[in-house]
Structure 1
């Protein structure tokens, strides 16, 4: 258990090659980016000096993504970051950014959790219900589940379609649900 919490140790050799100590092979920045996306913590150290180079390489990964057009950081934010290095704001910016990203992570987890729970299945109120279009999305989700499960397990009185709905209508609704789910996934990945 404690082993899973240890960061993945990457050693940088004098040749600037990066060595994964877990798998005993060389890795690229893209590999390291993949480890991080999978939820792994990484630590990159210089083999000779023992200096921690993690921050330097993480910034390099971000710079490469931004240069390929995968823009996550608006120019205003980048400008403010540069300014923070030359002002008194430098002392508060790291804590502010850490807290902001923690809130974003918690919000994403709650949103995903709420999207997976159908209304009526939980005793807790759903904060997503105030979102415009949520009722339509909920009806479509219930319709999709009713179609896929043949009506089993849905709460009584659900607002899904009636059993006499035509197959063509169900296919259209299914296509619309898939489209909306793809849009939601896209919006989540942009966050």
Structure 2
């Protein structure tokens, strides 16, 4: 059994082929993306030079998903990222992005935990399948995010900004409440 606490070591050969050192086989970028979606950390090393190529390949995975229309990063976020490379805010951006995604992951974990624990409808037929679908949806929402980007800001009527993620969370909560209301009416 592989030690999942250590990053999965991928070696890049001179032919640019990627080799999984745990399973002794070649892998594709999509395979690497799947490892990451499954919660596994990866490290990609150039076999000849020993250079760490992880960042380069992760950015390539993101670029491929974005080019296929799987847009996770809004244009304004991409513009802000490009700007951050050319101004003095660069030192703050990585820490901000990292803390934002940690908060997002924690919030989603708590939401899923609360949905499974405190839900009085959990014993109803079909609720287990619905919970599994919700977990798959949450995993799909976060799978493309990795360590890049953040929720876009939305401008309020009074000119202030707020995190657009708050609107998304409110929408999800409303949809969940509507669904629970419909299910409770079906049970009567």
Q: TM-score range by the shorter chain?
A: 0.5 to 0.7
For residue 5 of structure 1, report the CA deviation from its aligned partner. Answer: 1.2
Count of aligned pairs between the two proteins: 142
Matches of 2:137 and 2:39, distance apart in 1: 19
| DSSP-derived class of the 2:30 partner | helix
Matches within 5 A, 1:36-47: 36-47=36-47
Matches of 1:179 and 1:106, distance apart in 2: 21
1:37-94, Cα deviation, whole Å (9 max, x unpaired): 1111100000000000000000000000111111111111000000000000100000
Q: Quick one: structure 1 residues 179 and 109, their matched pair in 2 at CA, closer, same or farther if it must change by over 3 Å?
A: closer
RMSD between aligned residues: 2.6
**Larger RCO, structure (CA 8 Å, separation 6 or more):** 2
For residue 187 of structure 1, report the CA deviation from its aligned partner. Answer: 6.2
For residue 182 of structure 1, report the CA deviation from its aligned partner. Answer: 4.9
TM-score normalized by structure 2?
0.67
5+ residue gaps, structure 2, are: 143-188
Q: Quick one: structure 1 residues 41 and 184, their matched pair in 2 at CA, closer, same or farther if it must change by over 3 Å?
A: closer
Q: Which runs of 4+ in 1 moved over 4 A?
A: 177-185
Structure (1 or 2) with the larger CA radius of gyration: 1
Any conservation in 1 of the 2:112–2:135 contact (CA below 8 Å)? no
Any conservation in 1 of the 2:9–2:44 contact (CA below 8 Å)? yes
5+ residue gaps, structure 1, are: 119-137, 149-173
TM-score normalized by structure 1?
0.66
